[in-house]
Amino acid sequence: MGRRDDYIKYLAEVPLFSGCSQDELRRLSRHTTEIPVPEGHVLVKEGDPGLEFFIVVDGHAKVTRRGRKVGELGPGSFFGELAVLIDRPRNATVTALGPMEVIVLTRREFTAALEEAPRLSRKIMTGMAARLADADSRL
């Protein structure tokens, strides 16, 4: 299986993209980049502008809010998906606990993918609505 196929598999696991077809995920994957992350690197910092979305391919990271650890991320985990949709500050800091590999999708690339495949927008809105409904049901 080629690397792009791996990207498609990871994207398919993200609730935001759950309604997308394999072809739509393939198109979206063309706009992603895999990057290595060294141990201790801060991928996103609480309060900073959010411009990209990440999926962890390999390695682990800790998530902190106001300096307190609130979680840990590993392969298949994702964060920052709202950053490709809205302009809001990050609500947490994510720091690599060791060497990592992540897939990155920037807001700019995401917008380009939507322009390339307009029907993708509706499916993404449906995925976001499902996620909001799920969050609401846990309140």
Stronger pLDDT, 135 or 101, i.e. the higher one: 101
> Which of the four pLDDT bands, split at 50, 70 and 90, describes residue 66?
very high
> Which of the four pLDDT bands, split at 50, 70 and 90, describes residue 1?
very low
- Strands, E assignment, the chain: 33-37, 42-44, 52-58, 61-65, 68-73, 78-79, 93-96, 100-106
Q: Could you tell me if 4 and 26 are in contact, meaning their C-beta atoms sit under 8 angstroms apart? A: yes
Please tell me the pTM assigned to this model: 0.82
Cα dihedral sign for 59, 104, 89, 12?
Answer: negative
Q: Which residues contact 34 (CB under 8 A, 6 or more apart)?
A: 3, 7, 57, 101, 102, 103, 104
Q: Point out the least confidently predicted range of 18-27, 28-37, 130-139.
A: 130-139
Spell out the domains of the chain, with CATH numbers in brackets.
3-107+116-137 (2.60.120.10)
Q: How far apart are CA 76 and CA 37, in angstroms?
A: 15
- What per-residue confidence (pLDDT) applies to 35? 94
- What per-residue confidence (pLDDT) applies to 112? 83
Q: What is the DSSP letter of 96?
A: E
- pLDDT for 99 beyond 90: yes
Q: How far apart are CA 97 and CA 111, in angstroms?
A: 31
Q: Read off the pLDDT of each residue in 22-31 and give the average, rounded to a whole number.
A: 86
- pLDDT for 43 beyond 50: yes
Q: Read off the pLDDT of each residue in 27-52 and give the average, rounded to a whole number.
A: 92
User: Parallel, antiparallel, or unpaired for β 52-58 and 100-106?
Assistant: antiparallel
- What per-residue confidence (pLDDT) applies to 82? 78
Q: How far apart are CA 79 and CA 94, in angstroms?
A: 9
Q: Point out the least confidently predicted range of 31-40, 49-58, 107-116.
A: 107-116
